């Protein structure tokens, strides 16, 4: 068992913008000691100044080979970790499907996510408890006009389900949460036909609540559960017209 203080400690991977930034504010106000990561150090430093409580920053790219070691270093610096939220992700909509964009998507959303989730889960196994949160997307349910993005999000959800299966079989006290947002008003929201678009703050608030309740799965916002149901059953000839 890893010895650490009783203070609640959370790490947010990908906190420099979007819902990651707003989630950092919610958890800081709730009394958590925070570790925040991102590629842009100056934005991490800026966010640190805005937060209410103790905060540690670590600048790295999740797709780098050293990402797992960087996360381990941040955990050591904080004296432990109770919760990790893996929020880093990227996606492109481009009908020409340039390989460089697909590769960046896979490197970040698949390899980067796995490096963070694997490192965090192994830490929680040693500790005997912990909470791991992944934030894929409603896009995980079916392929779409950004094939690599949708496929990468399906990978994330499937990986989380696998971790939950391992946890259940081993009767380990580790909580695995899969958050699937719909459209959120961030730079990631691309293309036309957007609807039910939630603000960053609204989405972060609902995610914060789902995490605090230790939900296994949550759609953000809740009404996207209806869309998820439709996506799962609609036949291809109708789906491709949506």
Domain regions of the chain by residue span = 9-239
In this structure, the chain runs to a length of 242
Given 32, 123, 149, 219, the catalytic residue: 149
Largest CA distance in the chain: 56
HSE-up (13 A, CA, CB side) for residue 46: 9
Taking only the tens place, the pLDDT of each residue in 198-217 is 788 888 999 999 999 999 99
Q: Residue 224: what pLDDT?
A: 67
In terms of Cβ atoms closer than 10 Å to its own Cβ (0-12, 13-18, 19+), residue 124 is buried
- Pick the range with the lowest mean pLDDT from 2-16, 185-199, 214-228: 185-199
Highest mean pLDDT among 15-24, 104-113, 194-203: 104-113
By three-state DSSP, how is residue 40 classified?
coil
pLDDT at 1 over 70: no
CATH topology of domain 9-239: Rossmann fold (3.40.50)
Higher per-residue confidence, 71 vs 190: 71
Told to judge if 121 belongs to the known catalytic residues of this protein, a careful annotator would answer no
Mean pLDDT for the chain?
89
- Residue identified by tokens 């080979």 is 65
Q: What is the pTM of this model?
A: 0.89
Over residues 152-163, the pLDDT tens digits come to: 999 999 999 999
d(CA 113, CA 110): 5
């Amino acid at each position: 068992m890893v010895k650490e203080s009783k203070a609640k400690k959370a790490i947010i991977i990908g906190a420099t913008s979007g819902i990651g930034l707003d989630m950092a504010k919610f958890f800081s106000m709730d009394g958590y000691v925070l570790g925040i990561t991102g590629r842009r150090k100056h934005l991490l430093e800026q966010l640190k100044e805005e937060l209410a409580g103790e905060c540690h920053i670590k600048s790295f790219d999740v797709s780098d080979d050293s990402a797992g070691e960087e996360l381990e270093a941040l955990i050591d610096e904080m004296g432990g970790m109770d919760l990790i939220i893996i929020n880093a992700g990227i996606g492109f909509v481009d009908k020409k499907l340039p390989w460089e964009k697909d590769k960046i998507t896979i490197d970040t959303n698949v390899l980067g996510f796995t490096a963070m989730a694997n490192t965090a889960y192994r830490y929680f196994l040693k500790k005997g408890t912990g909470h791991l949160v992944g934030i894929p997307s409603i896009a995980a349910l079916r392929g779409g006009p950004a094939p690599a993005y949708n496929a990468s999000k399906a990978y994330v959800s499937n990986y989380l389900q696998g971790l939950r299966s391992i946890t259940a079989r081993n009767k380990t006290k580790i909580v695995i949460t899969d958050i699937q947002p719909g459209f959120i008003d961030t730079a990631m929201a691309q293309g036309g036909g957007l609807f039910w678009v939630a603000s960053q703050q609204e989405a972060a608030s609902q995610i914060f609540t789902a995490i605090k309740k230790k939900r296994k799965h949550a759609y953000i916002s809740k009404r996207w559960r209806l869309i998820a149901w439709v996506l799962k059953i609609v036949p291809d000839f109708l789906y491709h017209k949506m």
